[in-house]
Structure formats: C-alpha cells, structure tokens
Amino acid sequence: MYGWIWRTLPGNAWVKLLISLLLVLAIVYALFTWVFPWAEPLLPFSDVTVDQENVTNTTGPGGAPRPAGATGGTSPTALPGGLPG
C-alpha cells in the first residue's frame, strides 16, 4: 500500500516526501478533530469506580494525605513517612 502511494505521488523524492508529510499531518488533524471526539463517548476510559467498602481513613493527622502503603495509627517503631522500623 505504501509503495503504491509513493509511486502514485508526483515529483522527485523530495516532493514526494513533502507531500507524504502533508498527508500524514492531514490524517492526524482529521483524527483529532473528528474521529477521536466522536469515539470518546464510546470508550470506557472515564468510567472509573472506587470500591467504597475497602476505603478507610485515607488522611493522616491534620487532614494531610497518607503516603501510599501507610497503615493507620502510629507505633513507637514506625519511621517517618509510615515506614516500619
């Protein structure tokens, strides 16, 4: 297919390269302008749910967010940042 396009384009190699680049840019523009906005509602990427049963207190003292993997409470052997001692 690409060989057929290359042979069909007029001009020497530099002109064909320029026309090919313009064709690629036109296709990308068409995709971002019409195809992707049309297909976006059909895709499940924005259908995100969070299981509320497993969510506990996700904030630390003073309402600050806890580091990832930190468990609740403080222990005398815990290091700063919620790492076990």
Distance CA 83, CA 24 (A): 51
CB of 11 within 8 A of CB of 19?
A: yes
pLDDT tens string 42-62: 888 776 777 666 555 555 555
DSSP E strands in the chain: the ranges are none
Tokens representing residue 26 in the block: 């036109």
State phi, psi for 44 to the nearest 5 degrees: -85, 15
Lowest-confidence region among 15-24, 32-41, 45-54? 45-54
Strand partners, 65: 59
